[in-house]
Amino acid sequence: MRQPIVFVTDFGRDDAYAASLTGAAMRVDPHSICVEGTHGVGAGDVLAGAYHLKALARAFTGGAVLCAVIDPGVGTTRRAIAIKAGRLRCVAPDNGLVSYLWNETDPEDRWAISLDIPPGTSPTFHGRDVFAPAAAELASKDGFDVAGDLIDDPVLLPAAFAERRGNAVHGVVAVVDHFGNAITTIRAENLGDARVRTVSWPAGSCEGLVTTYAEVTTTVGALIGSAGHLEVAGNCVAVVTVGGPQVGDAVVVELA
């Protein structure tokens, strides 16, 4: 069955670039089902892109082809890759965008290919000329049949993975979302079954975890968000305005 193509880019929505991906996919397969994941990733922000790809993978559990184009190195020698992680497939420049998709899939159930670059490709727009056509090709059928060489070492971002040191888990804020919640690289599985004692960042801290945004009664609280990452959240307020952390800030969870 034809699967949807879900685009994740830093193109913004105010130019023709985003829709050009849809056009390019439709050239390969006029019946492509094109979904706007988000075109709002910060320019060149690969870590944020990796997080949004993971969040979308959780939503498209029936299978989809993610097409990620956050690509400051376009036209240089960086590889273009396709991966298969369980039922999900993803095409992207090989710069760390697939960090979570790759890391969180059983090694038995993941494959990666270094894509051939078609002749005539524009040196400034691989999204249109490489990634969208490859995504459309993959989405039009099952399997993982695209032109290129099998590889086993897609680039992963070290910064995407929190570190456990003793009773503490050290991460960073990867994304501040539209509501002003600061989403970290600390994942539910990093905490295991231990109780959270405190969550701290350069400018402040809070105690324990809550379950819903509405429970945050003081200025900020911490909770596990809908993609399984710890976030510092406010009650209808951007956390940075009430002492919370911002993108890139170190966040430490102390476990009981």
CA gap 11, 39 in Å, rounded: 5
Tokens 């691989």 map to which residue? Answer: 126
Q: How far is CA 27 from CA 37, 43, 90, in A?
A: 20, 27, 19
162-171 in b/e form (b: 16+ CB < 10 A) is beeeeeebbb
Closer residue to its own copies in complex, CB, 66/115: 66
**Amino acid at the residue 70:** I
Count other C-beta atoms under 10 Å from residue 236's C-beta: 10
Binding mask 1-30 for its own copies (x = CB under 8 A): x--x-x-x-xxxxxxxxxxxxxxx-xx--x
Could you give the count of Cα atoms lying within 13 Å of 134 in the half-sphere of its Cβ? 31
Least CB distance to its own copies at residue 152 (A): 27
Task: Rule CB under 8 A: choose which of 98, 223, 230, 232 binds its own copies.
Answer: 223
Could you give the CA distance from residue 253 to residue 256 in angstroms, rounded to a whole number?
10
CB atoms within 10 A of CB 249: 18
Nearer to its own copies, 60 or 111 (CB): 60
CB of 47 to its own copies, least distance (A): 14
Q: Which of residues 69-88 bind its own copies (CB under 8 A)?
A: 72-76
User: Binding to its own copies by residue 141, rule CB under 8 A?
Assistant: no
Mark residues 113-132: x for contact with its own copies by CB under 8 A, - for none: ---------xxxx--x----
Q: Which of residues 145-174 bind its own copies (CB under 8 A)?
A: none
Which of 69, 157, 174, 175: binder of its own copies (CB under 8 A)? 175
Contact footprint for its own copies (CB under 8 A): 1, 4, 6, 8, 10-24, 26-27, 30, 34-41, 43-44, 52, 55-56, 58-62, 64, 72-76, 122-125, 128, 175, 177-179, 211-215, 223, 225-227, 236
